[in-house]
Amino acid sequence: MKALILAAGTGSRLMPLTKNTPKSLVKLNGKPMIEHILKALEQFKLEEFVIVTGYLHEKIETYFADRSEKVKFIYNDRYNTAGNCYSMLVAEKYLAGSEFFKIDSDLIFSAEIAANLLAVKGDVRVTADVKNDMGAEEMKIKIDNSQRIVDFSKEIPPKEAWGESIGIEFLTSKGGRAVFTALKEMMETGKEMGYYEEAYGMVARNQGIVTAVPLPPKAPWIEIDNQIDLKAAHKLFAD
């Protein structure tokens, strides 16, 4: 079992903190954000971390030089000209045949959220925050009566959405093959600026193997987009 961490972006909304620091190394309660992710995954004894880098990639590589995790770095030279769908696709050959977590590097979460993904079945398992007050910018999901995802898009009307994808998923080898195939289709049809969640949506609509997994009760998480989020995270994940 592996983990794919997408850490290529510039973190422009966290400027000036990201002027000379990649977003994943911005400090949260004295530790880089990515260190909080590593801690949350520690109990799963993962065989390898596959990390897609881009902006200031050398600094991320330097950070891991003194750590014990087995890491494969993949440099995305299109980090500033393509969407995160491309970042996920470039990791395909390093994940073929493996089951893996996929994690956005700006997502801070408790270990129980990751464990919850392993406690259910499904080839593509998507952690969802179930709520009724979603806006236009959130990555929304629709489900059927068995909690299979039938659509996955920012374009879903909020009233039709069941919840929001938070940025951590678990894929079996079968699920990974399906998603990587969908990502390639996106590239072939001119959607290189798209989101990887669009590939999940394609797999959900065409194959019906994408499952929504509700957050465990009271399990903390936060996506850090800007300094307001970072301030909130300091309180939420205070030691």
Give me the tens of pLDDT residue by residue for the chain, a chain 239 residues long: 999 999 999 999 999 999 999 999 999 999 999 999 999 999 999 999 999 999 999 999 999 999 999 999 999 999 999 999 999 999 999 999 999 999 999 999 999 999 999 999 999 999 999 877 777 778 888 888 877 888 887 888 888 888 888 999 999 999 999 999 999 999 999 999 999 999 999 999 899 899 999 999 999 999 999 999 999 999 999 87
Q: Which of 9, 35, 36 is nearest to 109 (CA)?
A: 36
Q: Which of 122, 145, 129 is nearest to 203 (CA)?
A: 122
E strand or H helix at 182: helix 173-188
CA of residue 161 relative to chain centroid, distance: 20
Q: How many CB atoms lie within 10 A of CB 93?
A: 8
Phi first, then psi: give them for residue 153, nearest 5 degrees.
-170, 155
What SS3 state is found at 120? coil
pTM for the structure as a whole: 0.94
Phi first, then psi: give them for residue 142, nearest 5 degrees.
-115, 145
What is the C-alpha to C-alpha distance for residues 41 and 46, in angstroms, rounded to an integer? Answer: 8
The dihedral built from the CA positions of residue 174, 128, 26 and 115, taken in this order, carries a sign that is negative
Of the options 2.60.40.10, 3.40.50.10950, 1.10.3210.10, 3.90.550.10, the CATH number for the domain spanning 2-236? 3.90.550.10
Beta-strand relationship, 71-75 and 124-130? unpaired
Domains of the chain, residue spans: 2-236
